[in-house]
Amino acid sequence: MKQEVLRDVERVVLKLDVNGERTELLLPVHKTLLEVLREDMQLTGTKHGCELGECGTCTVLVDGRPELSCLVLPIQVEGHAITTVEGMADGAVLHPLQQAFAELGAAQCGYCTPGILLSAKSLLETTPRPSRDEIREALAGNLCRCTGYSKILDAVELAAGRMT
């Protein structure tokens, strides 16, 4: 019986706007945005740490606001602009945040980096010159186990300075 339940899933056709590209997909309705990005769209830059909305690793932007892609169903974001880390650079030119993270060693293992970059991007769009405490507040939902956060704060400040 179990196998029939598993196979008999409802599928929907969705048009997703990811990094400015519109893609039509046939998806099981219960599949999370995180799974669809990684498994159906090969956008493996978005990582996962818990799949329960606890670690911030899978953060993407929906209309410029950070969302945990492990808690979002694609059907909720149809028609909205989704940005993943693959959409940050302008062609081969890194986004100033990416550039600053690279220069200052803000990415060690790099696994939390895509999510943190996107949270920071959203912050700088609303608050171009954030204080160090404002950066802490904005990134508090993103865990990192390598850096102790210091170099990340430095990198966001550096990028903010360069962008304004």
Q: Which residues bind another protein (CB under 8 A)?
A: 2-3, 6-7, 38-39, 43-52, 54-55, 57, 84-86, 88-89, 94, 98-99, 101-105, 107-114, 117, 135-137, 139-153
Diameter of the chain measured on Cα atoms: 60
State the nearest-atom distance from the C-beta of 152 to another protein, in Å. 8
- The one-letter amino acid at 106: A
* CB nearer another protein, residue 33 or residue 104: 104
DSSP SS3 for 87? helix
* CB nearer another protein, residue 47 or residue 62: 47
* CB nearer another protein, residue 79 or residue 110: 110
Rounded Cα–Cα distance for residues 111 and 146 (Å): 10
* CB nearer another protein, residue 7 or residue 22: 7
The residue behind tokens 């090969």 is 42
State the nearest-atom distance from the C-beta of 13 to another protein, in Å. 20
State the nearest-atom distance from the C-beta of 118 to another protein, in Å. 10
Q: Indicate the burial class of 149 (C-beta count within 10 angstroms; 0-12, 13-18, 19 or more).
A: middle
First to last CA, the chain: 60
The residue behind tokens 């803000």 is 106
Rounded Cα–Cα distance for residues 45 and 84 (Å): 7
State the nearest-atom distance from the C-beta of 8 to another protein, in Å. 12
State the nearest-atom distance from the C-beta of 92 to another protein, in Å. 10
* CB nearer another protein, residue 19 or residue 78: 19
